[in-house]
Amino acid sequence: MSVRDWLDERMLMGVKLGLENCATLLSRLKNPHLDFPSIHVAGSNGKGSVCVQLSAAASASGLITGLFTSPHMVTVEERIRIDGRPISSETFDRLLGSVRDAAEMEPECSPTYFETTFLVAMLAFSEAGIERGIIETGLGGEYDATNVRPPSKSDLCILTTISKEHSGILGDTLVEIATAKVGIHRSGVPLIALQHDDLLVRQ
């Protein structure tokens, strides 16, 4: 089975919140996510646009910048960009092979599609020697796979506006959804939150 076929199989797993898969596989991959600091962005609306703008600003300031976003429009490589450019198909396939090898070690670990692309991104960023990562969450926050990064490697957390989405997973109210998403924030890390007009923010 090719690595791309293996990746396509991951789609059948759907959504799985939790950090266990990524923590296990990152350890087997020698923790590439610890090789660079990052900015972490969550929210319902505009988080992709915020990430792209942050990536462009960081690159313009002279930093080698890695950007991880989802979903992609045409090719999966779009999810993993360095200084604004998607990584090559050859690089993606090679690093995807490393992720599959790690997943097939005993005991086997079965990452989701999103988790797998995030793991490839961490390997790509480490290999490229990026100086700043811009990381967009999937649909959650506290239990989103991207939240496996430790506070010591986070420069800033950003929460964009919130809307009612994925209520079956994150909660039925804006407050519940916002609480889940703001879970990316860690003590000692600066947080920027865009206030939603309909969301009661409790001080």
Residues 19-60 have pLDDT tens digits of 999 999 999 999 999 999 999 998 878 889 999 999 999 999
Q: Count H helices, E strands: the chain?
A: 7, 7
165-174 pLDDT per residue, tens: 555 566 667 7
Look over the chain and give the mean of its residue pLDDT values, rounded to a whole number: 88
137 neighbors 40 (Cβ within 8 angstroms): yes
What distances in angstroms separate CA 183 from CA 41, 73, 80, 146, 177, one per listed residue? Answer: 11, 27, 23, 11, 10
Q: With bands split at pLDDT 50, 70 and 90, how would you rate the model's confidence at 185?
A: confident
Are 101 and 144 within 8 A, CB to CB? no
pLDDT digits (tens, 9 = 90+) for 76-103: 999 999 999 999 999 999 999 999 999 9
What percent helix, strand, coil does the chain show, rounded to 5? 45, 15, 40
DSSP state of 81: E
**Residue type at position 31:** N
